Homo-oligomer: A and B are copies of this chain.
Amino acid sequence: MKIGVLVLSDRASSGEYEDISGKAIIQTMDEYISTPKSYDYRVIPDDRDKIEKELIDMSENCSLILTTGGTGPAPRDVTPEATQSVCEKMLPGFGELMRQKSLRYAPTAILSRQTAGIRGKTLIINLPGKPKSIKECLSAVFEAVPYCLDLIGAPYIETNADIIKAYRPAK
Question: A residues near B, CB below 8 A?
Answer: 72-75, 77-78, 80-81, 89-97, 99-100, 103, 106-113, 118, 123, 141, 143-144, 147-148, 151-153, 167-169
Contact = CB atoms under 8 A, between A and B. Distances in A.
A49 B113 CA distance: 27
Copy number of this protein in the oligomer? Answer: 3
Contacts of A169: 106, 108
A110 B91 contact: yes
Contacts of A153: 75
A111 B147 contact: yes
A86 to B, nearest CB: 15
Contact of A99 (B93, B106, B111): B93
A94 B103 CA distance: 12
A108 B73 contact: no
Given A81-B89, A99-B93, A72 B151 contact: yes
Contacts of A123: 73
